[in-house]
Structure 1
């Protein structure tokens, strides 16, 4: 370790590799698979009322996986903290905070997913006689989950923006790579998250570049780690 507890270039390299691994694991456990496994809940109330119970095991697996993903998100903030603190303590603390906030909203969204599953199972058990009543309930719980999901996407965008912004600002990876990462986050937010906040139809194609970008950055960090050979940019705060 350097003076004042700051990481040496060697330890920063190791930390960067751990962050790269966490990015890949978190991408699968939090940003990809849970959304794929809960596709039976997407659509109108009648669609999820009939489809949710039929895919109960898959949905529960997605919820359990989201707990793993939330944990990985928090670990990502904690793992990157020593390197970010070398450049800016505020940035390091801020990244941990947005990661923790994102993880919390992941779990809120998971709770709404379980609510939809419970309503679907009750609908199937009740039969046709209660169909109309459960359709009303279905509209309510589906709307609540959509609102939670939208808020979750805002939080995901926040930690991604802080992450790539820190990589760019502190030159922890090649600036071109960090800049492309920021662009991918902006495109995803503009095409999906912002459209959902405005009550408009999401433009899914704008979110597509973020997946290969995230994989590329993760692999780069696995191979190269954080670049700590360059000094912090002039004027940035020091963790000491």
Structure 2
């Protein structure tokens, strides 16, 4: 029981850490991702941009951590979905990492632009637009598209297994559907990535992660549900 509670606390803490570092990363990236003079501002705020990259790398580690620590609990109910969840979470982390690399490459471009003095601005802007586009697409496919799939998988198992109160996975499945819908709408240009509608559609999944995190930290997984699942697996295994 103590090990289960410890694992639950780790998962909850990692969810909170992931949310905080994701927001901080975007804030630190502001000089190089926003504004027409990003080729100059990026170099001027190099340490801030690098700090933003570090925040996103912590996000990557946190995301992988939640999946791997939850895996032993999710597999008790459905090993296939639990394995899919780990694989898709790793894919989400890889996509985010590609976005980090694009921002750091943009920072290098900014430094080269400033050091060149009076460069051919057109070629630098073309490269900058491409690198910013890579980050925008990774931001859409990772924290939106893949997040929707991942959240749906673990929320479904939580709902069926009753490892946490059912209102939490219901919110999770609702949020997963909406953030996945947001990703599709953004892909087809119906709404902007950073917009009021984007924020509204992302709110339920963000609320689910925070509520789930707090519940796991203070309450942990439902021990009786874990015992029931283990008993069913043993019974099924012995009958087979």
TM, length-normalised to structure 1: 0.83
Counterpart of 1:100 in structure 2 is 90
Which protein is richer in helix relative to its size? Answer: 2
8 Å CA contact 1:87, 1:239 repeated in 2 = no
Q: Say which SS state the counterpart of residue 105 (structure 1) adopts.
A: helix
Name structure 2 gaps, 5 residues minimum: none
Whole-angstrom CA distance in 2 between matches of 1:237 and 1:181: 29
Deviations 1:131-151 (A, max 9, x none): 233122222222222223222
Q: How many pairs are equivalent? A: 228
TM, length-normalised to structure 2: 0.83
8 Å CA contact 1:20, 1:217 repeated in 2 = yes
Deviations 1:97-150 (A, max 9, x none): 122112211211111111111112222222344223312222222222222322
Is 1:176 the equivalent of 2:170?
no
Counterpart of 1:218 in structure 2 is 213
Is 1:139 the equivalent of 2:134?
no
Counterpart of 1:205 in structure 2 is 199
Q: Which has the higher contact order (CA 8 A, sep 6+)?
A: 1
Alignment RMSD: 2.7
1:2-13 alignment runs, 5 A limit? 11-13=3-5
Is 1:19 the equivalent of 2:14?
no
Is 1:60 the equivalent of 2:50?
yes
8 Å CA contact 2:78, 2:157 repeated in 1 = no
